[in-house]
Structure 1
Amino acid sequence: MKRILYSGTGLLLIALLFLAFNMSTGLLLTGARLDLTQNKLYSISAGTRQILAELKQPLDLYFYFSDSGSKELVPLRGYAMRVQELLKVYEREAGGKIRLHVVDPLPFSDQEDKASEFGLQALPLGQGGAPVYFGLAATDAENHARVIEFFAPDQEELLEYDISRLLQTLANPKRPTLGLLTSLPANGGFDVRTQQKTEPWMLVQELRREFDLQSLKPDTQDIPQDVDVLMLVHPKKLSQPTLYAIDQFVLRGGKLLAFVDPYSEQDSGAEYFGIQSKDKASDLEPLFKAWGIRLQPGKVVGDSLYALFDSSEEDGRPQPRPFSVGVPEAALSDEDPSTAGLEFIALSTAGIIEPVAGASSRFTPLMYSSDSAKAFDADGFDKPADRQQTQRNQELPSQRYVLAARVQGPVQSAFAEGIEGRKDGLKQAEQVNLVVVADSDLLSDRMWLEIRQDASGRQSPQPWSDNMSFVLNTLDNLAGSDTLNSLRSRGPYSRPFVVVDQLRRQAEANFTAKRFALEERLEETEAKLQELQGASTDAQKLNPEQQAAVRQFMQEKNRIRKELREVQYQLNADIDDLGRRLKIVNIALVPVLLSLCMLLVWSLRYLRRKSAVARRRAAAVEAAGNQAG
């Protein structure tokens, strides 16, 4: 048998069997998959499977990627391959209700015209380069279309959520209904002080384009049944019937986005007998208590680390405004669709949200202050001088606070016994979904918009923060089904080189100070050299001592530049050394270890065979001795 295996015929037979095995597994096990990635990046969640199962008609997915025009964009091509693999999983799991078409839109082709017709964005590659398309268009039998204009690599954690949301909005094209209840002039109106008409906030105008917006009165006693999401903006001093209506709306499955505020700068306040009211706070205390959250009463966050800066300058430097907070990407949740992918959200005189001990609901922070934040009393905030005095007088401990949070899970009604005339309401709910933000000023135009003048001289509003994106993301998420809301970030596809990053940071920390010192010496040397050379326009008029000094400074300048190059080289020396070690491990060490393992296995087998031969010989000798006896 061994002779047959080691012969040419045996090797040919093994090769044929190997090819037959590959062909049979490829045909018989086409749908078999094993996803061994840490975050199951090439699998879909149970929520997505439910969305696919609820599709009532076939959908066509057109994945546009400029494969031929992106040869040099290696990271983008890798991400495109992952997107395509995930789309194939959608097609396979949909049971024939999704047809995937992969399109390479060549320049000036019909495919490129179709991509532009869908509204897909093209990534320009500079002057003369062909644009790169990387998006998705979905159509149904009636040619209704929904698109993902461009798959941004920095939002890959939400890839499954974005695709599933696209499918669900196409399968259910009706625009969700948004109910807006506010005590602020967000819808526009008439300013009594200026005697002028005020326009609606830009964010409200955008909401009208995205949703069927219904404005509700602050004294409403019932939330209409067709309202999908209720948005409360500075709900100030709501009556018990209105609170009860909100309570019942949430318990029956309605989604809620609430902007409460310990001190709303947009609240002009009411006048009582000619005296302006100082009460500019809003809260939903009885409802919050039942839902397992709490807004710290009368407390405003001041954050020296995340403070925005005033446009007016004092002593030539912009002055920080600690009560106007710019929350960076690092303090935003990267796992929630409301905040994932956002970079900066601006708030002003924001409050503090915290969970209630023993609550049955789940409290998920979305937005934080820095560790240097302090909680100040909102009583002395009427004038800028009062704010400065408040900040100087209070020496408070610093800590990190939650500025916005999502609440989900089972809750009880805030009115267990109902209210007068309404005793038959819902008492509890197994699953609620609401988002609470401890600031309402972030919705005003000044907190996210500025008017800029373009090249043609026209003035146009330009966003300088992600406030509107945060609101639209949250409303889109809440307006989706519970199945869609259950989808969360799958984690990053890319696996960062942690050791390399640590080495880079350590090298920069070691050499940055030296680099700065050398640059400072170089500036001083160049200044002295320029001073000497500037004394005379003709270098020949310099006396020998000055010429010698010039030569000395030139040599010093060249030497410092050489040291700077050496420092820059040393910044990458440790990383290069790590790369060499990894190459040694991959190229030499692994084969050596495998060879040693093979030698060890061969040695063990050799010793076993030798021991077996010795035992057989001993047995034969013993048997011969017995026969002789």
Structure 2
Amino acid sequence: MGNSTRYRATIHLVLITAILVVLNLVSSNAFFRLDLTSSGAYSLSPLTRETLARAEDPLRVRIFYTDRVPPPYNGVRQYLLDLLREYETLGGRSFSYEVVDVSSPEGRAAAREYGLEQVEIQEVRSDEFQSRAVFLGAVVLYGSALEKVDHISRSDGLEYLLTSAMERAISRVDALAGLTEPVKMRALLSADLERYRIQGLEDLPRQLEDIFHRINRDSYDRLTYELSRPRDDQGRLEVQFIQGDRLQTVPLQVYAELFGGYSLDDPQDIEESLRWGLRSLVAANPRVGYSVGFGERDLQDHRQGAGALTLLLENRYDLVPLDLSEGEIPPDIDTLVVNGPREEFSRQALYRLDQFVMRGGRLMVFLDRHYQQMPSQQEMLFGAQPQWVEIETGLEKVLAHYGLELTSGFVLDEESFVASAQGGRQKIYQAPVLRGDSLNRDSVITRALEDVIVLNAQEIGVPRADDALAGRRVTPLLQSSPRSWTVDDPSLAGPGIQGVPPGETPDRRVLAALLEGEIPSFFQAPPEDLVSGEDLVSGEDLVSGEDQEPGAGAFPERFRGSSGSGGAVLLVSSSELTTAQLLDPQNRTPNGTFVLNALDYLKDQPGRAELRSKGLTVPRLHIASPVLPGMIRWFNLLVVPALVVLLGLVVRSRRRARSRALEAFFSDEEVSS
């Protein structure tokens, strides 16, 4: 009896061991993951599937991510590899990835050749913090195109970064292959450059020709080359890429030597600059209009202007400056950004903007009612203080007629940014921090965002009743907390504020809103056209061309009295959101994600916004009753330990009963034997 029992136990042990070995071998060669999240946070998005389906040539990803890195980088590395396995499963033979060993000299040299940079990280070794240089990047290769994804330090948004890089690479190759005329690469080297004795200048023509042949080979022979030595144009040292009416200029850098003289860039750096210039020319980025000419924030100003916005959008959209006082909006522009104007718009400009919306154009407006005018240094010496200046651009009336009223109420909020100050921490009440229900959870623009910061914003008045705007709907996107209030004078928002003043009724204030639907035109007629010399009639007295009787001075056909169902206007009540103070060009903050999501939505690409927002936030518990947290706390303190003790007593009782049964069984065998 005893030998038979041991034999069966041995057989069971061998079978279980064999099953475990087989399962381990299968699992090591097969990848499977089940996504149980309601939002599909761990499944590839439809946009990723579409991008992989577009690839006609092999699409490769090379991973340059240092192995055996400390947390959290080791988790990010594993997530990156798991994600690429899903790409490989979906892409089939057209997709592959490779993990490069960056601990070898060859791997590090390849990473540097692709332009990847090492990152300094801190880790604990031998009970002390030590610094270590590691690679945290990847490159996407498709045809002749190369896209870098560097400094991968977080898992959230990683699918968006990879898919966007793949999409850019595919679009650039498709753009090159689809060119109807070649791209001219023209090198301009002024004849007077020789007198400056620039080191390496004599070899530059040969180097540029060699670079041209390499770039042309990688660009499907779509380039031509020309060397020009203008005599009348002094000091020209640049390379131009020309395709049709488009021009991209790449200046060649000249550096002053320490002991006199000048030198050129390294040939490898020159080639990299020229490749980026060509990429910028043939990039298939969608075009977005940017209003200029009325005091808007400057796209090249990286301090007080919209330079941060330019950098944020450079890989996704091409911003096209448009002066509405000089001409119509081009027909290929379907989205227009108006950012922080400080001057009054002309009637012609307002009309062009209005008719742009009436034609189904999408409008994104960052509008201020006040701006802070700083005194000069000399005035500051005499104690002059910054002054708040009220702004009237004319856009306020147009937007109010549409259904979005930008009030003069300057929003202050107790849920605001806290800055370090002398002797403690100071709340900046004019900088609300928006989280939770302050962000619209039903809109793809703001659904996954948290901790969005706005500054110097005004309240947007929106209709409360659903039927207040016929054929239109207003969706609040950003709102302040229930502990916010407004002041009419921004100068009252000083450090002396200590919360909601007595007599004020705090409430949520709308800071950004989206208007969609059939938007009525603000105008009755084009300015200075058929209504010669008469003032334009505002929307309150609107009479469209369809309401005119024949022969009564009917408006021209190009005038539209309504946008139809495709109009959309997104209003943000502060242009500070587009400055470097609140906007990170690398999109490492929710503010950048909000701007990108908003533009994607207006460009009718909500899928891109969904992909970008994937995994940004962790779902939070919503407490239905204030009593519930206390009940859960006491349940964990009392009931759970009691259940554990009860379970232990049951297990102990069953073990004792089994022990007594075994003793009785063997006692009976001994008696019978």
Is the TM-score greater than 0.5?
yes
For the aligned residue pairs, the C-alpha RMSD in angstroms reads 5.9
Q: Which amino acid aligns with 1:297?
A: T
Higher helix share goes to which structure? 1
Per-residue Cα deviation, 1:438-494 (whole angstroms, up to 9, x for no partner) = 11345467x559xxxxxxxxxxxxx99987786567557766844423436344697
Matching residue of 2:431: 325
Unaligned runs of 5+ in 2: 124-128, 173-282, 376-387, 522-542, 547-554, 658-673
Per-residue Cα deviation, 1:488-511 (whole angstroms, up to 9, x for no partner) = 634469799999xx9xx99xxxxx
Aligned length: 475
Aligned runs of 1:284-303 on 2, under 5 Å? 286=398, 294-303=404-413
Distance in 2, Cα, partners of 1:327 & 1:94: 41
Structure 2 CA distance for partners of 1:363 and 1:385, relative to 1, 3 Å? closer
Distance in 2, Cα, partners of 1:172 & 1:258: 29
Matching residue of 1:402: 510
Give the TM-score normalised by the residue count of structure 1.
0.57
Structure 2 CA distance for partners of 1:387 and 1:51, relative to 1, 3 Å? same
Per-residue Cα deviation, 1:502-554 (whole angstroms, up to 9, x for no partner) = 9xx99xxxxxxxxxxxxxxxxxxxxxxxxxxxxxxxxxxxxxxxxxxxxxxxx
Give the TM-score normalised by the residue count of structure 2.
0.54
C-alpha contact (below 8 Å) 1:265/1:280 kept by paired residues: no
Matching residue of 2:416: 306
Structure 2 CA distance for partners of 1:414 and 1:51, relative to 1, 3 Å? farther
Per-residue Cα deviation, 1:386-434 (whole angstroms, up to 9, x for no partner) = 9999x99993310122312456xx6224239569324575965666776
C-alpha contact (below 8 Å) 2:371/2:389 kept by paired residues: no
Q: Which amino acid aligns with 1:87?
A: L
Structure 2 CA distance for partners of 1:373 and 1:579, relative to 1, 3 Å? closer
Matching residue of 2:47: 47
Matching residue of 1:216: 322
SS of the equivalent of 1:40 reads coil
Q: Which amino acid aligns with 1:302?
A: L
Per-residue Cα deviation, 1:26-55 (whole angstroms, up to 9, x for no partner) = 79x968764334543331233332333233
Structure 2 CA distance for partners of 1:300 and 1:253, relative to 1, 3 Å? same
Q: Pick the aligned partner of 1:146 from 136, 145, 148.
A: 148
Per-residue Cα deviation, 1:280-324 (whole angstroms, up to 9, x for no partner) = 36645555765xx5235332213355277899x9xx8998774x3
C-alpha contact (below 8 Å) 1:448/1:466 kept by paired residues: no
Distance in 2, Cα, partners of 1:63 & 1:581: 50
Structure 2 CA distance for partners of 1:339 and 1:45, relative to 1, 3 Å? closer
Matching residue of 1:258: 365
Who wins on radius of gyration, i.e. which is larger?
A: 1
Q: Which amino acid aligns with 1:215?
A: P
C-alpha contact (below 8 Å) 2:445/2:597 kept by paired residues: yes
1:90 corresponds to 2:87: yes
Aligned runs of 1:445-484 on 2, under 5 Å? 471=595, 481-484=605-608
How far did residue 137 of structure 1 move? 2.4
How far did residue 343 of structure 1 move? 5.6
Structure 2 CA distance for partners of 1:25 and 1:205, relative to 1, 3 Å? closer
Structure 2 CA distance for partners of 1:56 and 1:103, relative to 1, 3 Å? same
Structure 2 CA distance for partners of 1:288 and 1:90, relative to 1, 3 Å? farther
Q: Pick the aligned partner of 1:489 from 613, 625, 629.
A: 613
Distance in 2, Cα, partners of 1:591 & 1:59: 61
How far did residue 237 of structure 1 move? 5.8
Structure 2 CA distance for partners of 1:307 and 1:208, relative to 1, 3 Å? closer
Unaligned runs of 5+ in 1: 190-197, 269-275, 450-462, 507-573, 600-629
C-alpha contact (below 8 Å) 2:484/2:500 kept by paired residues: no
Q: Percent of pairs identical after alignment?
A: 23
1:133 corresponds to 2:135: yes
1:411 corresponds to 2:517: yes
Distance in 2, Cα, partners of 1:227 & 1:62: 36
C-alpha contact (below 8 Å) 1:135/1:147 kept by paired residues: yes
SS of the equivalent of 2:166 reads helix
Aligned runs of 1:403-442 on 2, under 5 Å? 403-405=511-513, 411-415=517-521, 417=544, 420-423=555-558, 435-442=570-577
C-alpha contact (below 8 Å) 1:179/1:213 kept by paired residues: yes
Distance in 1, Cα, partners of 2:153 & 2:400: 38
Matching residue of 1:112: 108
Q: Which amino acid aligns with 2:171?
A: N
Matching residue of 1:555: none
Q: Pick the aligned partner of 1:373 from 484, 487, 490.
A: 484
Distance in 1, Cα, partners of 2:374 & 2:291: 15
Distance in 2, Cα, partners of 1:203 & 1:142: 36
Q: Which amino acid aligns with 1:487?
A: L
C-alpha contact (below 8 Å) 1:47/1:486 kept by paired residues: no
Matching residue of 1:170: 169
Q: Which amino acid aligns with 2:166?
A: L
SS of the equivalent of 1:395 reads coil
Structure 2 CA distance for partners of 1:487 and 1:212, relative to 1, 3 Å? closer
C-alpha contact (below 8 Å) 2:119/2:136 kept by paired residues: yes
Q: Pick the aligned partner of 2:455 from 333, 347, 350.
A: 347
How far did residue 82 of structure 1 move? 2.7
